[in-house]
Structure 1
Amino acid sequence: MGLSEDPDLQHILFGLFLSMYLVTLLGDLLIILAVSSDSHLHTPMYFFLSNLSLADIGFISTMVPKMIVNLLNHSRVISYGGCLTQISVFIIFGCMDDLLLTMMAYDSFVAICHPLHYSVIMNPCLCGFILLLSLLISLLESQLQNLSVLKFFYFKNVEISNFFCDPSQLLNLTCSETFSSTIVKCFVFAIFGFIPISGIFSSY
């Protein structure tokens, strides 16, 4: 449904979201460039920070460019395949953001509480494994969400009360609450909410 149907307001929204998108993109790219170019920053904390910036670029690029094009063209239509792709990429990068923030909290915990063993505990192999595990969990989460939406194949000419294809909005379009969609929502809450927040709190 978009943000507004007012044609005058759409030009303001277009400029606002385009400028915020470009500033965010530039900031994340500068972080990645700074970490990769300076050998002093090749530590686990900055490794996670640069990957967090990369995930952030993917996350905002999932919905904002499409929304900007929609504001420019005065069209709010997305294909079924495009909607599923947007859901998948949104969940992958959103979940990676949460998991990487949790790993950064664990990295800080090890650096403060076990400084003499820090380089042994947070070795490059463990950092690479954590990044790979975050990606795999994010992919699993994304596919579970897509499977729960793909069961309902009758979406045609529907309006989603959001500016992008939100999985929860698509599940709300179904007539009845099924057991499997409830399980998927609980799994999503655990991955996106409970596990990262518990990890961050326990690290402090």
Structure 2
Amino acid sequence: MRTRIYNARILTMEEKRPVFKGEIYIDGGKIFRIKEAKTEKSERTEKPALNEEEKWDEEIDAEGNLIMPGFKNAHTHSAMTFLRSYADDMKLQEWLFDKVFPAEAKLTSDDVYHLTKLAILEYLTSGITAAFDMYKLKQDSAKAAEELGFRMVFCGDINDFGGTLEEMEQDYFRYQCEETPLLSYQFGFHAEYTTSRNLMEGIAQLAGKYKKP
């Protein structure tokens, strides 16, 4: 699939390079060229376009909108969309133990799958193209992310209430592989106030074993 996006304002995030007008060329889901729009001066001197650039499966008029690298949500529990505006204005411990944990205990795999899809659709409306997710039932979140073409990094959800080092190691091999290019895994724990020192040290040993953060 070859796609040409034209009539765009482009921000590459390169140092000292301002926003410029141009086109973006994509092949097989990867950008292979970004071309600046011609100026009056360059129109007289630039060589004719290559023939390969004339064959497109899809051409999109960006209508002058800005195209830039996607945002990254650096810490999320995607399936918790169902808890939005639920039991607000409470102290953290009361909110967690009296409201959140009992509600989460009722979730099924199917619930997590659909709730994660909702979260991803909301991410995309904000220009977020990847998330670092720390929720349980990762296999269901992974299914939702792959179906929607969304990039997700699982950061580990282990704590004193659930999860083992053995399961964490299995998840590392499951998601840190070429078969799932949109998914990856990093060693981590839920929070320092819900995870014992011994468990944290075990996670650190796993990270050292595979030379990972």
Q: Is the shorter-chain TM-score for this pair beyond 0.5, marking a shared fold? A: no
- TM-score scaled by structure 2? 0.23
Higher strand share: 2
Looking at CA atoms only, which structure, 1 or 2, has the larger radius of gyration? 2
- TM-score scaled by structure 1? 0.24
Query: With CA pairs under 8 Å and 6+ residues apart, which has the higher RCO, 1 or 2?
Result: 1
